[in-house]
Chain A
Amino acid sequence: MGLTARLAGRRAAVLVAEVPGWGRARCAVEQEVRRRGWRLAASPADADVLVVCGRPGARLAAAVDLVWDQLPGPRARVQVLDPAEAAPALDGAAAELSDEAAQRNDARSRPDEPAQGVLATDTTAGVEAAARPGAGADAEPPAWDDPHPGPDDDPSAHQDADQHADGDADGDGDGDDMDMDMDMDHGGMDMDMPMPGGIPLAGAGEDGQLPDPDQLDLDVLHVPLGPVLPHWPAGLLLHTTVQGELVVAAHAEVLEPAGAPPAGPALHGTPAGRWDAVATLLALAGWADAAAGAARLRDAALAGEVPADDAARLARRIRRSRLTRWSLRGVGALPEGDAADRLAHWLSGTDTDTDTALPITLEQVAGLVTGLDLATARLVVASLDLDTTDRVPVPVQTP
């Protein structure tokens, strides 16, 4: 194994795809990643290893496959079903990464040009749903109710891309955004429109959306957030319609796992779950030290023993941070409080075993996110500490 491979093996970046119900497995993987000196990837382009925690259902599995396509080489993919499997799985991944012959074969089997994927539009808009590789980690799988599987559909969605297939040719966030409608079989398409890269330009928004507060009348873009996204509730798929950077309409659903989650206590509601929520929110807010400290306390809680001094000290430090409070103030305001209040509430309750889940439905989540920009929307979702394990998937609204 060459020096480069050995050095590179010290710093693999891991993208974790969590299936609802396998939260403990995900925490075990994150702990193992930290133990090796690796780090968590921010997007598929950043990742070397894709870890699938759990058994995903059909749509979620297709999403994970799309994300797998987007990893540049060298790459490795493992599945972890049990917290105890995390260490051996990552060992296997490390071995796979340093196996240069296998990686070269993998690279050779992928095409050179970025392949056009099949794209998704907002299902609530009544347009035929097609799969969309998505931007970065936002992968949405093909909709299985597509009645016109033309030559541009499913097969292209799974074309491996060497130079990567992000079929999401999005325009400028402030100008014409691309409405991803790849169904070329439909006669509604105006073939005189300029279609760079085979993707048509975006159009104006529909009536059911929030009017642009700045009166700019920008074109709309459909951006699905999730289900494979770091610091994001497992399996949550948030269809957003953005104008510029602001979300003007949103619709949330949870993608199901295949079969029942593993037996054993759920993560949510336990002290470990609360430290997990704290770590996620602080990681999104950008405070790296506190997020790492909270993650270590979460691992200690999962192991059964939380060092009370450390916990108290970290809680005090987070509460005292005025910059964090200022940054989170007013974000995701509910009658019960905003994100800063929720963070304080989690910190005060981390030693008891009460369930702090807010009685919030997915429609309320979508409503809360509307009108915010994408980054704030992610902060809001993280601050809600959603438990996706028991959520019934929201049925697709028929127009």
Chain B
Amino acid sequence: MSVVTGIVFWVLAVVAVAAGVAVFRVDSMARATYALAASFVAVGLALLLLDLQFLGVLTVLMMVMEMAVMAIYMIMFMGMNPALMPMSMVHGKRPALAVAIGTFVVLAAGALLVPWPSRRGAPAGDLVQSLGEAVMHSKMLVMMTVSPVLFTTIVAALVLALPRGRYDRLGDDLNGTGRRERSRR
């Protein structure tokens, strides 16, 4: 591992942990959500160091999109506003702290103390492809057909569950008046 890689790893690691801590220290829901996003992005960028470029960039993509949607839900249910107000993210401070520190210690101990096997041979040319083949073996075709089927099912379920949206049920002013015959706006 070269010096540059080492430095980048440590910087990303510190950013990830610090941003994770910041989630519980900041004064606004939106800041908490995006601190979490920053933490995830740092982890995604760390994957790039393992030469897993596709997985790293995809992690960044998914995490930012998820945090953007999660921000809306958090604010909707927690009811905060852009002003900065002291708030608490946990229900009980001491149990939460204990569980968090305990989990971190266990995982870190596992990462550092487990006797990982040493590398046999050279890494494959295309790491992502070999990783995929190692994970999915002969079930690759099944996995690749499952995902479009899942996607189609979701969209079809949406279409079936809401054959006529609220505007068709209640009219354009959502008052229950002004209903129209057409089933689609």
Q: Which residues of A are interface residues toward B (Cβ below 8 A)?
A: 169-172, 174-178, 194, 196-197, 199, 201, 210, 213-214, 216, 218-219, 246, 329-331, 333, 368, 370-372
Contact = CB atoms under 8 A, between A and B. Distances in A.
B137 interface: no
Contacts, number: 67
Given A330-B180, A370-B175, A371-B175, A171 B81 contact: yes
Interface in B72-89: 72, 75-85
A176 B175 contact: no
Nearest to B173: A371
B93 interface: no
The dominant DSSP class at the B interface is loop
Give the top 7 A-B pairs by smallest Cβ distance, nearest first.
A171-B81, A196-B83, A176-B79, A371-B173, A371-B174, A174-B76, A175-B79
B175 A210 contact: yes
Contacts of A331: 172
Contacts of B166: 213-214
A320 to B, nearest CB: 21
Given A201-B81, A214-B166, A372-B173, 9 more contacts: A172-B75, A174-B72, A174-B75, A175-B77, A177-B81, A178-B81, A213-B174, A330-B167, A330-B185
B157 interface: no
Contacts of A178: 81
A175 B75 contact: yes
A169 B82 contact: yes
Nearest to B87: A194
B174 A175 contact: no
23 contacts: A171-B80, A171-B81, A171-B82, A172-B75, A172-B76, A172-B79, A174-B72, A175-B76, A175-B78, A175-B81, A178-B81, A196-B81, A196-B84, A210-B175, A213-B170, A216-B76, A219-B79, A330-B180, A331-B172, A333-B173, A368-B173, A371-B174, A372-B173
Interface of B: 72, 75-85, 166-167, 170, 172-175, 178, 180, 185
Given A175-B76, A330-B180, A169 B83 contact: yes
Given A196-B85, A330-B185, A176 B80 contact: yes
Contacts of A169: 81-83
A210 B77 CA distance: 21
The dominant DSSP class at the A interface is loop
Contacts of B178: 333
Nearest to A372: B173
Contacts of A333: 172-173, 178
A257 B77 CA distance: 44
Most chain B CB within a 10 A radius of its CB, from A172, A174, A216, A370: A172
Contacts of B170: 213
A330 B172 contact: yes
Contacts of A330: 167, 172, 180, 185
Contacts of A177: 81
Contacts of B167: 330
Nearest to B84: A196
A168 to B, nearest CB: 11
Nearest to A214: B166
A96 B151 CA distance: 61
A335 to B, nearest CB: 10
B4 to A, nearest CB: 42
Contacts of B172: 330-331, 333, 371-372
Nearest to A177: B81
Contacts of A174: 72, 75-76
A171 B30 CA distance: 12
B46 to A, nearest CB: 32
A175 B173 CA distance: 22
